[in-house]
């Protein structure tokens, strides 16, 4: 199955130290919006810091929440 995200908005705040090194890259807002099947959409929103997580792509926020995660995971399962 192939899933495609719908457009969504978010804000990223980059916090640097006095030398210009990135300390945090904090994203707030929608993280992802994916229709899984008719009438079911996986949606995650909240706050996530890409620097402290060490990940380039995230679908579940550190704080906030997600809806229909089980359906999303089931659609991605082999």
Question: Does residue 36 have a pLDDT over 80?
Answer: yes
Model pTM greater than 0.85? no
Does 48 reside within a domain? yes
For residue 22, the enclosing domain spans: 10-76
For the CA atoms of 3, 7, 9, 13, what is the dihedral angle to 10 degrees? Answer: 60
If one counts the domains in the chain, the total is: 1
Does 3 reside within a domain? no
pLDDT-derived band at 2, boundaries 50, 70, 90:
confident
For residues 35 and 30, give the distance between their C-alpha atoms in angstroms, rounded to a whole number.
14
Backbone angles phi, psi at 13, to 5 degrees: -110, 125
Average pLDDT over residues 13-32: 93
Q: Which pLDDT score is estimated for 13?
A: 95
Q: Which pLDDT score is estimated for 52?
A: 84
With CA atoms as reference, report the closest residue to 8 among 62, 73, 59, 77. 59
Does 5 reside within a domain? no
Backbone angles phi, psi at 15, to 5 degrees: -110, 125
């Amino acid at each position: 199955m192939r899933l495609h995200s719908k457009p969504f908005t978010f804000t990223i705040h980059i916090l640097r130290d006095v030398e210009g090194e990135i300390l945090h890259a904090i994203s707030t807002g929608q993280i992802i919006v994916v229709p899984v099947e008719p009438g079911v959409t996986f949606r995650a929103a909240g706050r996530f810091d890409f620097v402290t997580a060490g990940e380039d792509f995230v679908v579940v926020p550190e704080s906030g929440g997600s809806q229909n995660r089980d359906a999303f995971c089931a659609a991605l399962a082999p």
